[in-house]
Structure 1
């Protein structure tokens, strides 16, 4: 319905729009909202549209009520119309057949007449060409006589001669234009003979005649024709027999075999042509490029037409094999370009550039990324179990990793740079993936350190290190992180070997080293966190026994015990786990064991010093309190203070603490650890010695 026939109900004036807005030819909802939103809010516009919608519904109902009778009459008048149409269908069909027969007869007659007229036209043109050739000969003879040098110089009316010659020249041009068709036929006939002779020379490998034929093509400015001829008659049939899906699917090296056969075409069928045209000293046939314009263009088109599936990256293994084979083929093809000009022509060829773009390397990388990342992630998200430890204690001194997770991470890191996965065009992506894997391994270590381990069976002998699964795992984890950081420089050497010679610039090498050094530095920070966890685990097994220090005063007060000469059991119990740890690991990782024990003993000694200090302080306070009470009691009874016979309970407590601390120091020394390297040890010994001397 046209805009003139549209009678929309009038919109109230207080609305933010007019009814005319909706019947514009270029009406657009977004434009409508954008224009009216400048003048009013969306909520107001929504309410106005609701009001106008009610007006439209009311108008529609009125229209239906007004024209209801016409609608009903229209449907009743169409009763029986389908029968009338069916009655007309048969005679109309017969009439259509008769018309088509007449039309076919007329078309046949027109075709016959047209063919006869074309034949007559060719005859007339041939007669005209013969007539024009006769006139050309006469005009040339006449022009030669008119423009004869002697006649022209001796004639007093040179302008007349020039005018006469101009008329003859026009006649000559007119007749030459009428002979153009004949000239084209002669040219076509000549090129046919030349092409046949040229192909015969190629097959016979006659260099002398080939050079002369190529010289003719240059003379006639038909270089591109010669290249197209070689492509269609020599290259195309051979390439067609090589590039097909059957040859591709013979085996995994199907594409490699295809490329080898294509190179064989260059070495056998086109070798002589290439040697002649690409020879730097043969200027007489310069300008031909059969390698690009005859061979490569046809090869690329046939690949695109028959084995386009080689570009699909869905199977990464197959894609990698085919892409590497393609790069080798292109490198050999570039090597055939013995002159810089021919090489530039190949590299700048549009089909050559598009061919390289068809290999979807980003998709290949994403598939490899998912393979490698999912393999690593599957292992790293598994809960920590005894099976996570892959090897025995002896593996701690070997180059192999002890944890299954570390083995998988390192194997996948090496896999990235394997010749069956790596592509130098994706070097930056694979390097980034390597750094991401290292970062993921570091984050996994940090998450493992935060993991809550199940409470170990209290009935087991916790003084034995083999019963502490968490501690054993932490030691394996520490050594794996250390080994992992140490082998990363070897990964850098592998990465450097994958770089092309032109990529080995000082800037790139520096960037690679800096990024890897940062990764190694982060791993060493994580190793410190593991060390802290190991120390916490060792300390947890020892520090609980030091609580018994506070029980020493109860052992001697009012018990009349003898002066202590042996250490309490808690000293041995507190160090038993560390002794066991030292015995089990000292022959395997002595440096690490001594370092961890020194840190653990320093923290344990700090706890021990605090406990001893508390006991000594408490004893001293108790002693002073008893002394004051005794003085008060003696004053009240009027008796003099009697001297204490023998050693008091408080002194026995101090002596016991001294014996315990000395035994503690001796046990540390027996573990081949110098007490000088144990923090707070000197303060602990001084505290008990000072207390005893009082």
Structure 2
């Protein structure tokens, strides 16, 4: 078979490719690319090609290049050798070419020197020109400044001249003693014209002063300006004084035109605060001090004199009567008077000063009721002031003023909440510190709370959201207080129930759970009733009241509040099973005390021929505590479902304990009888007696079971009398099978 195999060509591999062929990933053309970077090339290939393989290929490619270079040299070797023979008289040719090049270089150098000199000259000229232009501008600025100062001084000097010229007719008329009605009207018109002319002139002066301020700001630290500084200051003082007098005169006479021009002048010189302060001192302050004097005395033994509601009403009347005219002028559309804020910096500022000096106690949260009343009155006052703002942006500006924030800052709502917290939480804590349950009179109120602790809780919860306590801006804190109150009440109940179950309150002395140790089982009726009522109240009426108070909040906030209150109510209602278990255990304990008499059955029928014929007396006592509890006068406080739950819970647990005692008694009797039987049989074997001598009387165990069977039947009848089907209780069925005869174990018959 070897003869048939064709030998493989040494020039090709298994797949017919040349043995010296390059791998497909190695492309030598990549080296010729202008953006070729060796590091990037190696980094790209090393992710799928081992470095050893790449190095081998590069070495192979280098060898190929060297071989190719040798081949090229060998191929054109004759040309390389003949190149040197053809380079004849090269130095002479280079010399002939060097001469014109040197000449050209010298010409270029000389021309460059000429250009550099011209450039230096041009730059020097431009610099001198720029300096001259700057000097000319400064000179022009100084000239303009001088002219404006002179013009302002001239215009200011015209003010008294205008006043005397305009007032001469009035003087003449007064000298003549003319008091007629026509002359009075003429005097009013002349005075109005005088104020208007003065205000127009002052507005013009203010405009020039604005130009002067611009010029001086651009020519600071110049000797000429420093020399004119005193003249500028004098002109400024005279303008401020004259403008202030004219503005006050216009305010006192309610001259709208004069006020309008004066406001434009104040705005031009950027001195709005002066106008606001003049209005405050001239118009607002006398009015406010009549309402709230700075030396206001506190009354003794009567109503507090720090109440602000009536004062705010009077202040609003004064604002409407004496301040509204200026507020309307300052809010004129497209007048540029938006820079003024007379509402905050004049009216509100004066009100704040008057309260601070005349009624400082109004800001004190030490008397929470009066503080809240004044705080709400102040918020209403601010809301009325905002009504004078012509736009929403004006309201935002009013609220952002420093005076507004200072006014709000005076009301320390945080301290107020702390006092209310201590008041409300302290009342509940005091009620929960009682060592016993304090039921109240519930006659005629079957659906109301019955314990003092529960009533205090409900009153505290309602106080948190009443108009006399709540501050809406701090509703989150009052919500937290609400949840804390419910949690405190729930903890009080939980710790009390745990302490009663453990029969010791020493483990939690802080929680004061002694009330549960001393409480009677009937007292837990009040507890269950109140917890049920509180749970339904929290998820019903109380929740509706809270949601109504928060009606202005967003739906998301309202949903969170609803969920938190519902969760608090649910946590409280989760204690109902524990309360029910406490009542059940208390009744069962009383019943078990009588049930323990069952052990006396063993002593009654041991070593006697007496047979049981009637049920034991203890049977009638087993359910007596339960019956007494259900027949109590306060059982109506429990819902019908709760009563049924308690009835079934108590009877099941009593029956279970009954079965445990009966089974234990029967087992002990059987063991005792078995031991006695073994002893008797041993004694008979020792004396030689036969088993026939053993008596065939009824055993003690049988007599005990007979008596217990009668007792169980009677117990079943007692359960039926209370509405409980005994056969439905699993423990009763076990009890029946434990004591019933064999022929009656399959069916329970009472």
Distance 1:243 1:347 in 2: 24
Pick closer, same or farther for the CA change 1:319–1:650 going to 2, 3 Å. same
Distance 1:169 1:692 in 2: 133
Distance 1:277 1:626 in 2: 118
Q: Is 1:477 aligned with 2:527?
A: yes
Distance 1:283 1:653 in 2: 113
TM-score (norm 2): 0.61
User: Aligned-pair distance for 1:204?
Assistant: 5.5
Q: Is 1:268 aligned with 2:316?
A: no
2:435 aligns to what SS in structure 1? coil
User: Aligned-pair distance for 1:380?
Assistant: 1.7
TM-score (norm 1): 0.65
Contact 1:248 1:258 in 2 (8 A): no
Match of 1:654 among 692, 705, 712: 705
Contact 1:394 1:588 in 2 (8 A): no
Contact 2:436 2:519 in 1 (8 A): no
Distance 1:169 1:369 in 2: 69
Contact 2:266 2:272 in 1 (8 A): yes
Instruction: Look up the match of 1:535.
Output: 584
Instruction: Look up the match of 1:618.
Output: 668
Contact 2:344 2:403 in 1 (8 A): no
Instruction: Look up the match of 2:509.
Output: none
1:49-70 deviation line (CA, Å, top 9, x unaligned): xxxxxxxxxxxxxxxxxxxxxx
Q: Is 1:570 aligned with 2:621?
A: no
User: Aligned-pair distance for 1:649?
Assistant: 3.7
Instruction: Look up the match of 2:567.
Output: 518
User: Aligned-pair distance for 1:404?
Assistant: 1.3
Pick closer, same or farther for the CA change 1:170–1:418 going to 2, 3 Å. closer
Contact 1:391 1:403 in 2 (8 A): no
Q: Is 1:408 aligned with 2:459?
A: no
Instruction: Look up the match of 1:491.
Output: 542
Pick closer, same or farther for the CA change 1:500–1:198 going to 2, 3 Å. farther
Distance 2:625 2:143 in 1: 124
Distance 1:327 1:478 in 2: 44
User: Aligned-pair distance for 1:659?
Assistant: 0.9
Contact 2:442 2:448 in 1 (8 A): no
1:431-456 deviation line (CA, Å, top 9, x unaligned): 222222212212222344426999xx
User: Aligned-pair distance for 1:346?
Assistant: 0.6
Contact 1:316 1:367 in 2 (8 A): yes
1:375-410 deviation line (CA, Å, top 9, x unaligned): 22222212216xx12135875xx2321111211222
Moved more, 287-296 or 629-638: 629-638
Distance 2:668 2:444 in 1: 49
Distance 1:172 1:640 in 2: 152
Q: Is 1:593 aligned with 2:646?
A: no
Distance 2:139 2:543 in 1: 87
Pick closer, same or farther for the CA change 1:519–1:180 going to 2, 3 Å. closer
1:215-265 deviation line (CA, Å, top 9, x unaligned): 666677775554443333222221222233676857557311111122112
1:605-650 deviation line (CA, Å, top 9, x unaligned): 2221111111211232234345445555666545452686664443
Moved more, 365-374 or 643-652: 643-652
2:386 aligns to what SS in structure 1? helix
Contact 1:239 1:262 in 2 (8 A): yes
Distance 1:416 1:526 in 2: 24
Pick closer, same or farther for the CA change 1:187–1:237 going to 2, 3 Å. same
1:254 aligns to what SS in structure 2? coil
Distance 1:243 1:195 in 2: 27
Instruction: Look up the match of 2:79.
Output: none
Pick closer, same or farther for the CA change 1:186–1:340 going to 2, 3 Å. farther
Match of 1:420 among 464, 468, 478: 468
Pick closer, same or farther for the CA change 1:268–1:441 going to 2, 3 Å. same
Contact 1:413 1:437 in 2 (8 A): yes
Pick closer, same or farther for the CA change 1:319–1:575 going to 2, 3 Å. same
Instruction: Look up the match of 1:256.
Output: 309
Instruction: Look up the match of 1:113.
Output: none
Contact 1:235 1:295 in 2 (8 A): yes
Distance 2:148 2:526 in 1: 99
Distance 1:623 1:504 in 2: 81
Distance 1:409 1:176 in 2: 78
Distance 1:374 1:581 in 2: 35
Q: Is 1:607 aligned with 2:654?
A: no
Instruction: Look up the match of 1:556.
Output: 605
Contact 2:292 2:311 in 1 (8 A): yes
- 1:285-300 aligned at under 5 Å gives the runs 287-300=339-352
Q: Is 1:673 aligned with 2:724?
A: yes
Instruction: Look up the match of 2:101.
Output: none
Distance 2:144 2:573 in 1: 97
Q: Which runs of 5+ in 1 are unaligned?
A: 1-162, 455-467
- 1:502-517 aligned at under 5 Å gives the runs 503-506=553-556, 508-517=557-566
Q: Which runs of 5+ in 2 are unaligned?
A: 1-134, 164-197, 203-240, 505-517, 746-750
Pick closer, same or farther for the CA change 1:219–1:245 going to 2, 3 Å. closer
1:680 aligns to what SS in structure 2? helix
Distance 2:406 2:545 in 1: 32
Pick closer, same or farther for the CA change 1:428–1:641 going to 2, 3 Å. same
User: Aligned-pair distance for 1:350?
Assistant: 1.0
The root-mean-square deviation of aligned C-alpha atoms, in Å, is 3.7
- 1:91-170 aligned at under 5 Å gives the runs none
- 1:299-378 aligned at under 5 Å gives the runs 299-378=351-430
Instruction: Look up the match of 1:26.
Output: none
1:370 aligns to what SS in structure 2? helix
User: Aligned-pair distance for 1:307?
Assistant: 3.0
1:657-688 deviation line (CA, Å, top 9, x unaligned): 11111111111111112335645122112222
Distance 2:405 2:440 in 1: 50
User: Aligned-pair distance for 1:577?
Assistant: 1.2
Distance 1:172 1:217 in 2: 23
Larger radius of gyration: 2
Instruction: Look up the match of 2:83.
Output: none
Contact 2:525 2:637 in 1 (8 A): no
Q: Is 1:544 aligned with 2:593?
A: yes
User: Aligned-pair distance for 1:329?
Assistant: 0.7
1:258-306 deviation line (CA, Å, top 9, x unaligned): 11122112211122332343254x6486654432333223333333343
Pick closer, same or farther for the CA change 1:243–1:692 going to 2, 3 Å. same
